[in-house]
Each structure stands twice: as C-alpha cells, then as structure tokens.
Amino acid sequence: MTKDRALEILNSNQSALRALNHATAILFVDGETVAPVGSAPYRAKTLGELSRMQYELTTDKDAVAALEYLYEIRDTLEPVQKRHISELYRTLDMTRKIPMEESVAFDVLISEASAVWHEAKVNDDFEMFEPYLEKVFAGMIKHAEYFDKEKDPYDVTLDLFERGLTKSKCDSYFTELKNRISPLIKKITSAPQIDDTHIVGLFSIPEQDKISRFCMDLLKIDPKFCTLGETEHPFTANINKYDVRITTHYYENNFLSSLYSVIHEGGHALYELNVADSLVDTCLGSGASMAIHESQSRFYENYIGRSRPFTDLLLGYLKTEFPGRLGDISENDFYRIINKAGPSLIRTEADELTYSMHVMIRYELERMIFDGKITVHDLPKEWNRLYGEYLGVNVPSNKMGVLQDSHWSGGNIGYFPSYSIGSAYGAQYLELMKKEFDPYAAVSAGDLTPINKWLEEKIWRHGCMYDPGDLFASVCGEFNPAVYADYLENKFSTLYNL
Amino acid sequence: MTKDRALEILNSNQSALRALNHATAILFVDGETVAPVGSAPYRAKTLGELSRMQYELTTDKDAVAALEYLYEIRDTLEPVQKRHISELYRTLDMTRKIPMEESVAFDVLISEASAVWHEAKVNDDFEMFEPYLEKVFAGMIKHAEYFDKEKDPYDVTLDLFERGLTKSKCDSYFTELKNRISPLIKKITSAPQIDDTHIVGLFSIPEQDKISRFCMDLLKIDPKFCTLGETEHPFTANINKYDVRITTHYYENNFLSSLYSVIHEGGHALYELNVADSLVDTCLGSGASMAIHESQSRFYENYIGRSRPFTDLLLGYLKTEFPGRLGDISENDFYRIINKAGPSLIRTEADELTYSMHVMIRYELERMIFDGKITVHDLPKEWNRLYGEYLGVNVPSNKMGVLQDSHWSGGNIGYFPSYSIGSAYGAQYLELMKKEFDPYAAVSAGDLTPINKWLEEKIWRHGCMYDPGDLFASVCGEFNPAVYADYLENKFSTLYNL
C-alpha cells in the first residue's frame, strides 16, 4: 500500500460515511421538528438501514487496512491529517475491543431501555425500568473493562464522554463546589423570595419568536447558516459548520424559558459555526467535547445572558419593541427575576446557582453504583435522600426524581459531570477576557464581537484538533473550581443581599 | 440461484435503496423549506455521494443477477411481487441501453443546464441558455434512439413520462381541445371582465395559513401523515404513504393563490396517502404516473375546488371565521372571481380554461424540434408566435416566455402534455361519479368522503400496479377529450353569460 492509495481509499470511505451521517442528522432534525408524527415508524426503519450501511463502511476491510497503514505512518502526515487519522484509529480500536455480538446486543438493549424509560416516566413506574437500567449499568461496566482492564471502570467511563476526566478530578471539583455553594443555597432559601409573578404570560408565541430573533441577532449567529425550529426539548443539531439547527420550546406563560434556551443553544451553534473551514471534511469538524461545548452554551446563557448589562439591554429592547407591556419594572427587578434561584426538583429547569448540585447528585449515584456501594434497585431511595441532603427538597415521585432524565436509558452514564464542569470553565474564560478587554462593556454596547472573537480564536476554530483537557489548559492553564465558586458566591450574595 | 435466495438478495438491495431514496427526499424537502440557505453547497455534496451509492446499489452484480433470475421466473410470483420485479427489470433494462459514459455526461449536462437556466431566466438571456438546451434536446433524442430504434423518437420520449402516450394520441387530444376552446377564449376576451379588485390583500399570512388548514381538513388529509410547509413554488413530496409533505406560497395580496395551491397539492397528497399498505415496501408504492397524479390534484383544485358548491361553502366559512372581512360579496360574485379566465403569459398562473393552451404550445414546440422542423435557436420566436396565435397575447420578454419553465433544463421534455391530459381525465371521473352518487351534494354538505372513497377504490389504492393507460381505461373506458371540452364549454359559457 502506498500513502496516496491509502488516503484515496480512506477518503472515499469517509466521504460516504459523512454523507450518511449528514442524512441521518437531517432525518433526526426533520423528525423532531416538522415531520408528520405518523412518519416515525418508517423513518425508524430507514435510520436502521442507514446505520447498517454506516457499520458496513466503518468495518470495510480495505478502509480498515488503509487506516491501519496511515496510522503506522502518521508522523509523516501534516497536523490536521495526522489528528484525523489518529482519531479515526482510536475509534476503530475501541470498537474492536468489544466483541461484535456484545456490541449489537447492547445497541438493542439501549433501544429497548429508551422505550421502556419513556413509558416508565409517564407511568411513574421505576420498577418496570429497573431491570433494563440494571443491564445498562452492567453493560457500561463491562465495556469499561474491555477498554482498559487496568483502570478503574468509572474512570474509563468518564473518559468516554470527556477525555481525561477522572473520579479524582470530579471529586475535588464537586467537593469544592459543595462546600461553597451548599451554605449559599441554604441562606437563599431563607432569604426574602423574588416575586416574578408580573412577568407571567406577557408575550404571545409569535412575540416570543421575535424575541428569539433579537437574541440570535445579538449573538451574531449568521442566519445564512443557522435556523431556529420548535421542539418539545430545545437542542442544537450540528450537521456541519454550514448547517446548524437550533430549537426552542415556547411557553405561553414564561417567555424567559425560550429566551434563555435560544441563548444557550445559540452558544452551541456559535461554536459549530466557527470551526475552521479546513476541518470540515475530516472527523475534526465539530466541537471538541461535551464539557467544552457546555462551556460555550452556558457561557452565553449565564455569564453573558444573565449578567446585569445583558438584562438591562434586554429590558431596553423589550420596552422599545413592546411599549407599556412591562409596566414600570426596574432594571434591578428585571435582573433579579431573571436570576431567581432556589432548590428545585428538575435539573433542566434549575437556576444557575443550584444547577451543579443536580449534576453532583447524579455523579455521586453513578459512582456509588460503579463502586458497588449501592445497586440500581437502591437508586430511587438514594436519589431522594441526596435531594433532601443537598437541596433540601422532598421528591414527591420518581417521575419528578430518578426517572426525569433520559441519559441513563440511552447508555449515557458518566455524561452528567460535563454539564457542570463546562459551566465552571466559563468562570475562567471570563477572568481571562477581563484581562484583555471589558466583556461587559461589549454587552452594554450591544456588540458581542470582542467576546465572539476571543472564543473563536481560543476555542471554536480548533474543532477537535486537541483533546478537551489540553484545549482548556492551552487557554486557561490549570482548571480551578474556586474561580467558579467565587463567581457564584459573589453574584448570588449580592443578588440576595446576603 | 433459488427463488428464496434471489428474493433475499434483491430485498436487501431494495431496502438499502429505499433508505437512500428516503434520505434524499428528506434532504431535498428540508433544503426547500427550513434549511439555512448557506447549507446548500454541502448538501449538494452529500446528495452527490448518496446518488453514487444509489448507483452502486442499482448496478450491484449480485442484485442484478437476482433480479434477472426473478424476472425469468416472474410467472411463478404472486401479483404484487411480479409487478414489482417487472418494473425493476424494466428500469434496469432501460438504464443498460444507454452507454455508461453517455449517461454520466448527460447527468452532468442537466445539472449545468439547470444552473444556467436559472441565471438565464433572471437575466432574460436566452442566448446563454441556448447551447445547453440544444444539447439537452440532442441528448433526449439520442436516448430515445437507444431505447427503441424502431419507434419515433418523440413517441419514445412521451412514453418515458406517461407510459403509452404517443404523438397521435396527443394530436387528436389537443386538436379537439383547440377547436373547442380557442373560440371560447376569444369570446371571453371580448366579454365584460370580472372585477376581482375587492379581494386583494384581504387576509394576512397567518390568516391564510388558517384557511390552508381549513382546506386540508375539508379534503380529509390526515395531519398525522401529511404536513404543510412554505416554499417559493408549491410542491408535494411523497416520501412514502406515511409521510407526505405539501407546500404552498403565501402572497399578501392574493389569498386565492395559496388556497388553490393547497387544494391542488392536497389532491396529490391524498393519492399518495391512500396507496395500499401492501405496496409500501415495493417500487409500486406511489402514484401510477404524472398524468394520473395531475388528474387527482386538478380534480380537487378545479372540478371540486372551483365548483359553485365549493366556493359557496368556502365563502360561508370565510364569512363566519372573519366576520365583515368580505363585505357584502355575493356567492355568485365570489364564484365568478375564483373562476375569472382569460389569456395570460405564465402557465403556472393560468386559469382552468386557458391552462391547456399553454401546455399545447409547449407540446407543439417540442414536437417540431424532434421532427426537425425548427431548431432550439428558433424557440423564442416560435414561442411568441404561438402565444399570439392561440392566446392572443404579446410576449414581452423571454423571461415571461420561453424561459419561464424549469422543465426543459432538467431534461423533462415530453412531460408537459401530462398536465393537460390529467385535467381532461377528471371530466370523465366526474361523469362516472355522477352516475353513482351526487358529488356536489357531498361538497355542499362539507363532507368529501364519498368522493375520496370513489377515487381511493378506483385509483389511489392501486399505486403503480397498473400502467397508467390501463388504470384509466379500467375506470373510465376509452379516453374521450370531448367530455373535457364539454365541461369547459358549459362552465365558462355560463360563467361569462355567452
């Protein structure tokens, strides 16, 4: 095999795979947004067929041989190609570590577990989900052993979702956070509560849609390459850097929910839209990891979107666009309503301060199961105990408790910590930005260009060229959770006059 | 090869092809409706890749061998399978008649010609399009010779789009129509004109959207399997019988345009949605032909939608839903406005009466080129001459003339007659329905069930089980253009008090 021939074989194989991935992504987005509901079963059939083709292409003998050859000679390749080949090889290598039959059986299990979870949640019936969840945890533990027998299985599992993340890193992160945030949450719970009743039902859905466009415009999301749709749960679909779809969900009663969904998904979108052109035709053409992605979305949502300069700007816009609608609400009241915090039951509805506690609970539960300290059967009881302990709330049902998230049913165990770590990363970005320019002056001026430029330069353009830990370190040096805890403490102590 | 083995190979091949067709159709619909505009180039790349895979699957040696074997033993198969195999074999056989390089070159030509046509239309520049169009016509003539050296090339070409259609059938059809309709059009042109100025700008786009839903509901289009989108030009995409998308285009000034687009596309949708379940997993699971399809869409649009019982019903709905909006317009005035007829320049905007004249002009031009009587260079001059002769209008520019339709640039030569013949078919359906029940009583009652049931039984459920000519004959016996001419003559003589 020659290098040119190997590249030719691999490129043609990858090009076909990219086309199938593209089609699969559009079928998914279309199904979630505008497709008629009755089209789902046939679409599932088609997706199954496309997935079979993807599998055939991934395991194609010639392509695998070409990849192996190119991996051998990777040091002779230019950097992007070298990284591309190394990443493809890494995936291949991991795929081969799990025996074929087990891999197929696990895919079937996941598909069944997801369906059962849906039903279990609707019926508030953990018992029907339990045997499936047991098998999912068992499967993930077994996979971890296949991947690396020498390492702790939960460390291997964390690494699947966020390369380089370990129990020990999570432990020190969550411990710092718990020690600093828990007392703050307790104080807020007993402080005078913020009244947000006068913003209920203020804007119709077409008006909320207009507000969404304002936010997308403010973030400088180019509508040429990114559109907004409506779905039950907001998400970002990154087809490629020229085609990103974000979605939101409008609630008649609460315009802030959709508004901050748009800003959050907008952050994800900006990242994808600004990956370097040179990476598009490789496997490196999207965000580096889930934590780095969340560090973008939650940066725009919270550090920018829930900052006082932003809420002032937003209030100004709303008062101009919808005269009289907001009455005589003050900038300070508006800022406080938007940042209203307090213990709650549902992670996806949690405020900026308490969000990480929800994540921590899930992390601790996963860790205990991997460590054999509890079983899946104990999850509801342990879940409720931790919600009582960390957030001081009584969980009234499993539907509002352990059954609320889809992640575990989909095999996404070890995934949760990234949500919180991504949030924490943002505090360090903010500190660094402040050394170079005044990000909040940019927000006040309604021109986020310097913020976008900074993130594009440091993070976005690199796509998957670097491991997420290395990427973060190259920008911020060492990860320091105290910066995040300081930020939360300052913000919420001031907000609640503690 | 055994029958079971051959079926296994072919079914797996067809299943993969169906998945790629499904993905391709959704990528197209998504691109035309909600995708960001900047996503087009990468989507084109993906579509190219999927098309390459489709080609590989179609020409896969094992699948071809299985198909050939099954075609040999087709008489041992049950009817649906036999038809499925015969149709697949027919396509394969035709594909093989064109040398590979020529087929590829023609695809490239079509793609270039389409792009050039777009630009030529915008710039009103026939000269830039001419060399491409020459090659397209030459290519289609050459293909016709490959398909059947013995037959007249234009007959072969007509048969490509409507199996069984010939010049001689078209000639006798259009002659009858011209003789009967031309004098009528002349009389209408000099009769007192219908004033439709008071319906301009009556309904906002969200209101028009509401009217669309009313129409879809009236046609009994199940929203579980069919959604409505917005595009520059309305169309129907039949993904499969469980997933049909219709689109419309809203004009602020003219609510009737979108309303009748929805009814037209709704007719196409009903056909696709009601193909028998047993045909879905075969190549027979959609409408039988373009003329049969138009005979459904134009039946709902014109015979039903522009009938007096329907316009009365519509006016009643609009007066109830938007009180006072239509002033004191009478049922008769509303009916006359909706059926306003007269010579015009643009086919897609033509009324029920003059529409076929637009089609006939295109037919005559194609026929003359195939017969060597004119060249592509003569097209603008000949186009303008025929518009003067048949419709009495002066064509002010090629943009409003010979460049208006995309069909020829896309290789769709021989396609136009089906539009008009489909319209004519409807007159015979109507006569037959009237013998069994009162279709207009159903319309007046606002319940189209008996009409839908009749068409489902006679046409829809059969999908592609029969050749279109046989299907029509099985329902209506011989095709008789006089029935259509009678219908038009009666309707428009009465309408214009001639």
Sign of CA pseudo-dihedral B78, B80, B85, B90: positive
- Report how far residue B495's alpha carbon sits from residue B336's, in angstroms, rounded to the nearest whole number: 7
- Cα A26 to Cα A22, A205, A232, B37, distances in angstroms: 6, 26, 17, 15
Partners of B14 on chain A (C-beta within 8 Å) are none
Does B227 contact A50 at a Cβ distance shorter than 8 Å?
no
Partners of B216 on chain A (C-beta within 8 Å) are none
Work out whether strand B236-240 and strand B243-248 pair parallel, antiparallel, or are unpaired: antiparallel
List the catalytic residue out of A162, A265, A301, A382.
Answer: A265
Q: Is B35 on the interface with A (CB under 8 A)?
A: yes
- Averaged pLDDT of chain A: 96
Helices A355-370, A167-190: axis angle to 10 degrees equals 140
Partners of A244 on chain B (C-beta within 8 Å) are 36
Structure tokens at B235: 């169309």
pLDDT band of residue B495 (cuts 50, 70, 90) is very high
Q: A173 pLDDT exceeds 90?
A: yes
Does B227 contact A35 at a Cβ distance shorter than 8 Å?
yes
Q: How far is B406 from chain A (nearest CA, A)?
A: 25
The string of pLDDT tens digits covering residues A377-436 is 999 999 999 999 999 999 999 999 999 999 999 999 999 999 999 999 999 999 999 999
**Residue A202: half-sphere exposure toward Cβ, Cα within 13 Å:** 23
Q: What is the pLDDT of residue B272?
A: 98
Q: Which residues contact B225 (CB under 8 A, 6 or more apart)?
A: A36, A38, A39, B241, B242, B243, B244, B273
Does B41 contact A242 at a Cβ distance shorter than 8 Å?
yes
CA A375 to the chain's CA centroid: 27
Longest distance between any two alpha carbons in chain B, whole Å: 75
Q: Is A42 on the interface with B (CB under 8 A)?
A: yes
Does A53 contact B19 at a Cβ distance shorter than 8 Å?
yes
Does A30 contact B29 at a Cβ distance shorter than 8 Å?
yes
Q: What is the pLDDT of residue B1?
A: 87
Does B26 contact A30 at a Cβ distance shorter than 8 Å?
yes
**By CB neighbour count within 10 A (0-12 exposed, 13-18 middle, 19+ buried), where does B21 fall?**
middle
pLDDT band of residue B216 (cuts 50, 70, 90) is very high
Does A23 contact B23 at a Cβ distance shorter than 8 Å?
yes
Does B46 contact A242 at a Cβ distance shorter than 8 Å?
no
Q: B175 pLDDT exceeds 90?
A: yes
Does B22 contact A30 at a Cβ distance shorter than 8 Å?
no
Rounded to an integer, the average pLDDT of B359-386 is 98
> In terms of pTM, does the model score above 0.90?
yes
List the catalytic residue out of B112, B119, B207, B265.
Answer: B265
Q: Which residues contact B41 (CB under 8 A, 6 or more apart)?
A: A242
Rg of chain A in Å (alpha carbons) = 23
CB A342 within 8 A of CB A354: yes
Q: Is B41 on the interface with A (CB under 8 A)?
A: yes
- Amino acid identity, position A184: L
Q: How far is B285 from chain A (nearest CA, A)?
A: 13
Q: What is the pLDDT of residue A1?
A: 87
Q: What is the pLDDT of residue A271?
A: 98
The string of pLDDT tens digits covering residues A266-283 is 999 999 999 999 999 999
Does B38 contact A225 at a Cβ distance shorter than 8 Å?
yes
Q: Is B237 on the interface with A (CB under 8 A)?
A: no
**Residue A243: half-sphere exposure toward Cβ, Cα within 13 Å:** 21
CB A214 within 8 A of CB A317: yes
Instruction: Give the single-character DSSP code of B339.
Output: T
Instruction: Give the single-character DSSP code of B231.
Output: -
Partners of B43 on chain A (C-beta within 8 Å) are 22, 243
- Closest CB to B240 among A20, A42, A229: A42
Q: What is the pLDDT of residue B198?
A: 84
Q: A100 pLDDT exceeds 90?
A: no
ipTM of the complex: 0.91
Q: Is B205 on the interface with A (CB under 8 A)?
A: no
What's the order of all strands across the beta sheet hosting B243-248?
Answer: B226-230, B243-248, B236-240
Place of tokens 């037919």: B363
Work out whether strand B226-230 and strand B236-240 pair parallel, antiparallel, or are unpaired: unpaired
B interface mutation test: which of A37, A46, A244 has the most B CBs within 10 A?
Answer: A46
Partners of B223 on chain A (C-beta within 8 Å) are 36
Does B227 contact A18 at a Cβ distance shorter than 8 Å?
no
Work out whether strand A243-248 and strand A236-240 pair parallel, antiparallel, or are unpaired: antiparallel
- Amino acid identity, position B159: D
Rounded to an integer, the average pLDDT of B358-368 is 98
Q: Is B43 on the interface with A (CB under 8 A)?
A: yes
Find the closest chain B residue to A242 by CA distance: B39
Least confident of A101-110, B138-147, B486-495: A101-110
CA B169 to the chain's CA centroid: 19
Q: What is the pLDDT of residue B317?
A: 98
Percentage of chain B beyond pLDDT 90 is: 95
- Report how far residue A341's alpha carbon sits from residue A353's, in angstroms, rounded to the nearest whole number: 7
At residue A57, the 3 state secondary structure works out as: helix
Does A42 contact B229 at a Cβ distance shorter than 8 Å?
no
The string of pLDDT tens digits covering residues B11-70 is 999 999 999 999 999 999 999 999 999 999 999 999 999 999 999 999 999 999 999 999
Partners of B245 on chain A (C-beta within 8 Å) are 34, 36
CB B108 within 8 A of CB B128: no
Rounded to an integer, the average pLDDT of A30-38 is 94
Q: Is B227 on the interface with A (CB under 8 A)?
A: yes
- Amino acid identity, position B5: R
Residues in A 278-317 with any Cβ partner in B closer than 8 A: 280
Does A30 contact B30 at a Cβ distance shorter than 8 Å?
yes
Find the closest chain B residue to A43 by CA distance: B22
Q: What is the pLDDT of residue A458?
A: 98
Q: Is A213 on the interface with B (CB under 8 A)?
A: no
Q: Is A22 on the interface with B (CB under 8 A)?
A: yes
Q: How far is B186 from chain A (nearest CA, A)?
A: 46
Q: Is A34 on the interface with B (CB under 8 A)?
A: yes
Does B240 contact A49 at a Cβ distance shorter than 8 Å?
no
B32 is catalytic: no
- Closest CB to A224 among B38, B53, B229: B38
Q: A198 pLDDT exceeds 90?
A: no
Helices B3-32, A3-32: axis angle to 10 degrees equals 70
- Report how far residue B83's alpha carbon sits from residue B102's, in angstroms, rounded to the nearest whole number: 29
- Report how far residue A175's alpha carbon sits from residue B392's, in angstroms, rounded to the nearest whole number: 86
Nearest partner of B17 among A22, A49, A44, judged by Cα: A49
Q: How far is A252 from chain B (nearest CA, A)?
A: 18
Place of tokens 């099954």: B70
Q: What is the pLDDT of residue A31?
A: 93
Structure tokens at A294: 């969340």
Q: What is the pLDDT of residue B350?
A: 95
CA B239 to the chain's CA centroid: 16
A interface mutation test: which of B18, B26, B274 has the most A CBs within 10 A?
Answer: B26
How far the first Cα of chain B sits from its last, in Å, is 70
DSSP H helices in B322-378: 331-338, 355-370
A interface mutation test: which of B21, B37, B49 has the most A CBs within 10 A?
Answer: B49
Longest distance between any two alpha carbons in chain A, whole Å: 75
- Averaged pLDDT of chain B: 96
